[in-house]
Structure 1
Amino acid sequence: MKTHIKERPIPFSADMVRALLQGWKTQTSRTRGLERFNGWPDRKIPLGEDAWELCHFTKEEPGIWRAIFQDPRGECPPGLDPVVKCPYGKPGERLCVRDPFFNVYDDWFRLLLEITDIEVRKLQSITEEEAMAEGIESIFYDEETSSTGWKNYLDPESMCIRARDSFFTLWDRLHGAGEAETDPWVWMIKFKVLKVKGTIK
């Protein structure tokens, strides 16, 4: 008997679809489902004159996470559900790629990803290697020094020296100026490409 593996649609920009097809992109960071933890100044949840500081998330079970607060009065602010389910699934499940220009259900185009790992972290905690895995574009490389220049998604006339900075310009282009600086909680989803049919020119 065949085991049914869940597949969920996930949107990507045209640039990121190209990065997937080129093999550059093996990670994506998303805030969907974490809005209630990201909607307060300084990521602190107000309660009267006090504030509850969200420290980290712990995994309850695959796909289910719990917010942990630093406060001696209790586990979390009253009225706030600390448990959150990842809307993108869990490791072993799959994502069907969509973008504004292609319909994932068209016969000629299919792009299927398998989730390999999920973490809930602050955006600014991303490493250089993880930023590269987000699919940012290298626009300069010096073989003698191994120096690399990365695309600045906000200013095509300049480039970024660090991959993280390039990724933050991409984040701001997608989410609004200065949004990377707010350092939201994000799902950091790692995946592998299972199937590609069709090409993008």
Structure 2
Amino acid sequence: MSIVLTAAPTSTAPGLLLRPWRDEDVEELLAAYRDPVLRRFTRRPVDTTADAAAFLRRSRQGWAAGRRFSFAVLEPGPDGERLVAQVLLKEFLPGRGHAELGYWTAASARGRGVASRATVAVTEWAFARFAAAGLTRLELLHQVDNPASCRVAEKSGYAFQEVLPARPPFPRDGHRHVRRHR
């Protein structure tokens, strides 16, 4: 897949590169999922190389089906690029006006604007690519006990819409944030 997105650097952080996942991302993916904060908010942990292979397979299948677009978010470092996050456009169906955007951030990248900059990049790409297919609204959902996700949503232009009641597999109420195509 040749889609590569970028997020510009800030005065305190380098630029970001967003691209589809690759097989060589396995070790960094496993390392990111060792973080207990990330594991607390994920439904499908990646604990083994078999889990990582399944993650990458689902990512490729989503791209191939044109319904689920998972981006590895990379940041340049002294030893080359390193994985700092994932942003995912999911539940896209042509003709349906909305889809969902999700993300996670590696522990080493939190608090530096990585998630909001990457979210904006994927949001803008999604509207540019799928507006003609009817996409007019993106939703970002998170549990109420994740205030960092509220801040990311707001910084990314997603307005708070409503509180959602808890439902399996989510044990707590959630927030729905919405960004509309302009």
The TM-score bracket by the shorter chain reads under 0.3
TM-score, structure 2 as length reference? 0.25
TM-score, structure 1 as length reference? 0.24
**Which of the two has greater strand per residue?**
1
